[in-house]
Every structure is written in C-alpha cells, then in structure tokens.
Structure 1
C-alpha cells in the first residue's frame, strides 16, 4: 500500500530513530525530534521501534490511504480528522481504502507524528530512512514531502506484543508552557562571567520563533562571557573559540545574548563555545515546546544524568512490553 500526499503541511518529513556512526564525518544523527512520541505511534499500529514515521511541524499534511490499514497520531495535541470526522490521538485508528486523514490547528508544542502499520518504506541511506534536508539525504529525495508524493508503506511486521488500542494515561508525555531542562555544564562554562552563569542556570528563558531541527533559540537576560584575549584563530567575540566538536544538545550563546540548543540536525563542530549540554533524557522536550514556552536550565551531575537516562530507558521498555 501507499500514502498519497494531498497537501504537504508546513515541513512534513520522514523520520526514524536516526542515522548513527557518521557524526564524525559531519552527518548528524537526525531522526524524530521526539523519539518517545514516535515510539508510541509505532507501538499503536503494531510496528517495531525501527519503522519510519512522518514528523509534522505545526501544520500537518492531508493524506489518503489506498488500502485498509492502521494509523496512529501522537505527539503535540492536535485534532485528527478522518474523512472530516474528528478522531482521537494516541489511539489505534482503523482506516479503509480511500480514507483521507487531515489535521486541525495545533493546540500546543511543535511536532506530532503519524505512524502507519508497516512504516514508511522509503530507501535507507547510511542505515536510516530519516530525512536530512540540508544534506539532501534520506526520506523522499532528501526533502520534505510535497503534494502528489506517493509514499510506499512496508508490510506490517508479525505481531510479537499484545495489541495496544490506546496509550495508557501513565505513559502519555506531558505538554505545557513551562519546562525544566536538565543540563551538564561545560566545556566552556568557565568562560562565562559569574552573572552570566547565574543567568543561564537560574533565570527563565523564552523559546523564540527561531527554532527548527538544527537548533532552538531562547530569549532572556543574556549570559555574558568574560572579556579575555582571544586565542589565535578564534573570532573576536568572547563567545568564539578556535573550533571544537559539538555534542547533540550543546548550548551556545553567541555574543552572550540568546542561548541556542543544538538539536538532531545540527552541525557537528564549529567556532562557538558550548556553555553546557542538555542531557539526552531531556532532548525530546524541545519538540513539545511552542514559541513562547518558558524554560529553566537546571544543572545536574553526571550521576543524575545517568539516572535520568536509565529512567528514560525503563519508560521505553514499558512501551515495548
């Protein structure tokens, strides 16, 4: 079977768990910005965690199925319409050939996910079906979907888990307007002034509309850098360095003004100092934020970060049980 894209939405792309092992060559991991929400969608339709889904940004697509199938929508809250009739998100939706699926206005957050039984079966590129638009890799010719595209769907995998008709309430992700994001300081937090460091870790920051899969910019009181003589090869601004590798989740503060959190499609290195790094367990939160969301960056220890990662792994294990 296949999905016919009638209207594409704002920036709808094919994504899966990501493309790993190539970051050192400058190719980011990509994948769904909210891995947990994407996993829930796959679980509802009977897929494994590996199948590719559609990631929708703010304005979703309108699509038609050409065979009986099962579909699910998870992620940020949005009205799901099947042939114009409202259906419920986070549930298993049985569709008949010719059914059309569309979406209402997003009610919060930024990203939601569409899974179909069998997964979006575009070719793998470097081990992943994820779309990386800057590099023109993966997905549908390395780009967002367009009207008229026909997306192939794979054969549904053999069921190995009990059928899930809806996501249990205790497994639903939280959505809101205020977020606590845990960070580990470094590598260059020592270059911030004392007040700059306090601002980063104690002040409230607001997500600006300048946010995408590469990075998200936050407005607030600023976090100034110490005025020091720059090393040879660095830029003139104190926020510049002579270049370093960037971890996913790195926080840059160009000019000491607006922090930028690098996300799954970000470059792997450059000349801005990283004041801190968001822990892996909290990276999904950024797909649940809309412009104007309030964020506090809270430092944690390595032990706390590892505990949070273990908790996240256990939560995923409950999804796949």
Structure 2
C-alpha cells in the first residue's frame, strides 16, 4: 500500500512525535509542528499517536492511493477533495484504490496533517521517521516529497480503541489571528533593561512571513538591552553571549529588534541571548500562527507552566479513551 505523489505541494514532509534524545548532539527533536493536530488525525484513522503522518505547509499535495485506505485530515482549515468532491476535515474518511486526494486554498494557519491507517512507513532514523531536511535524514530520503514519489503505508494496526468517526468541535484546535503565548523568563532576561523587559511583555508583536520549522520571526517595537562590557568570546552586539545551549522554544532578539522563537527543527546552541522560553503547552499554538498574527507574550511561573502541560495532557486523554 502506498501514496503515489502526483504533485508534492509547497513543502510536504513525513513527521511523527520527533527524534528525542539527540539534541545534545546537535540533532533537533523535529516531529510534527502541531503535535496535537497530528495526533487527532492518527486517532481518527485508528493508529496510535506514534505513527508518522504527512505534514503539509500552505499548499498540500495531490496524490493517489494505490489501495483502499482510511485517512483523516486535521490541522489548519483547508478544503479537502476526493475525486473532486469536497469532504470534511476532522473526520474518518475512506479512500478506494485509485482515488485522488487534493486540497484547496488554506483558510488559516500554515500546516495541516494527513494520517493514514498503518502510518507512513518510511525507515526510522535514530528512532524517528521525522524528516529533518537540514540534516537530510528521516522521511523520504531526508527531504520534502517530490512528484513521482511512492510513499509506503504500514500494515494494519489495532490500537485497542473504538473507532472514532469525527472530532468534536470543542476538541479541535483554534486558529486565531490574535494570540497570547505564555513564556518563562530566562536564562538571559537579566541582560534586558527594565524598559526592554516591559517592551517584551507588554507590546504587540506580529509574526512575519520569515517563519519555518526552525524558527518564527516577529516584528514589533524592539527591546532595550543594558549597557555592559561584552565578555571575551561574545560578539559586539548586546544581544550576543558566549555560546550556550538553546532550549526548544527559546526566544532570541538579535540586535534587540525582532524576536525569534526557536521551534521543532531549531539548532541546539549558539551565541544569542535567550530572554525567555515558550512553555511546552503553547508550542502547538505558536505553530498554528500564520504571518500577520498579533502576539502577546505573558510571563508565567514554573508551577503555571506545569499546570498548563497537565491540562493539555488531560485534554488529549479524552481523545485517546
């Protein structure tokens, strides 16, 4: 069983829950940018949460299923067509052998996900099927899909759960143009002046089109750094530090002008100060934002971040029961 790729879309890659445990070696965790949406698709088709899916960016692929298949499309709102007929997102769908799947124009967000029963069955690399294009590993030859690819689908799976026909509206993610993103300050927020920190937390930042799996850049009023003598080994810009490791979700502000949130495929270290880090519970929210999204950063405590993560876990558990 396979998908025959007629048109690849703008950037369609194989992704799963990520390549965990290699960040210290410079290999990012990767995986689906919007993990929640990807797991919803897997739940609908009868997979476990671990199976690989296709992550589509803006323009999805056109493909033909070589055999009968159960699929689902979740994530950003987009028209889905089977043999030219409009079919719904967030529902369990059946493709017959030879059916064509294609997509219309995205209506919000940036990424949507195609799951198929059995999962996308490309070889695992370092414990994951996720595509890391910069390192040319995972997925289909370490790259985005191309026309002519035959993408293999795995064998039938019994996840031990009753079949789910659709995702309730209240369990679907929202795609807003005005969001609040929770962050924990540090490790280098002390390098910002009082005015600079106030600007970070009390200004409106707008997501620019410079956004991909590595990072998302924002425009806004900028921030002010404290005057200091740069330490040996750091650059001359006040946002420079002696190289340090980056947490996933770190916020850098090179030159004090445009914040960058490091996301799934970000590098693991470098010489820019990390003034805050997006909490894990809001990483999917950041991934759902499209250019032009108005964003406000709000500082939370470790206890609040852990509570938010626990709430996300409870929400996901409703689907997997």
Q: If the length of structure 1 is used for normalisation, what is the TM-score?
A: 0.99
CA shift, 1:248, in A, is: 0.2
1:118-129 aligned within 5 A: 118-129=118-129
| Structure 1 Cα separation of the partners of residues 280 and 158 of structure 2 | 31
Could you give the per-residue CA deviations for residues 150-202 of structure 1, whole angstroms, max 9, x where no partner exists? 00000120141111110012211111101110000000001011111111111
Q: How many residues end up aligned between the 2 structures?
A: 321
Give me the CA root mean square deviation.
Answer: 0.6
Paired position in structure 2 for 1:164: 164
Q: What are structure 1's unaligned runs of at least 5 residues?
A: none
Paired position in structure 2 for 1:209: 209
Q: Does 2:288 match 1:288?
A: yes
Paired position in structure 2 for 1:314: 314
| Superposition misfits of 4+ residues, deviation over 2 angstroms | none
Paired position in structure 2 for 1:195: 195
| Structure 1 Cα separation of the partners of residues 177 and 298 of structure 2 | 17
Is 124-133 or 280-289 further displaced after alignment? 280-289
Give the SS at the match of 1:310: helix
Paired position in structure 2 for 1:65: 65
Could you give the per-residue CA deviations for residues 26-59 of structure 1, whole angstroms, max 9, x where no partner exists? 0000000000000000000000011000000011
| Structure 2 Cα separation of the partners of residues 212 and 206 of structure 1 | 15
CA shift, 1:119, in A, is: 0.4
Could you give the per-residue CA deviations for residues 283-308 of structure 1, whole angstroms, max 9, x where no partner exists? 00122111100100000001000000
Q: What are structure 2's unaligned runs of at least 5 residues?
A: none
Give the SS at the match of 1:54: strand
Paired position in structure 1 for 2:19: 19
| Structure 2 Cα separation of the partners of residues 53 and 308 of structure 1 | 26
Give the SS at the match of 1:285: helix
| Structure 1 Cα separation of the partners of residues 156 and 282 of structure 2 | 31
Paired position in structure 1 for 2:183: 183
| Structure 2 Cα separation of the partners of residues 128 and 113 of structure 1 | 17
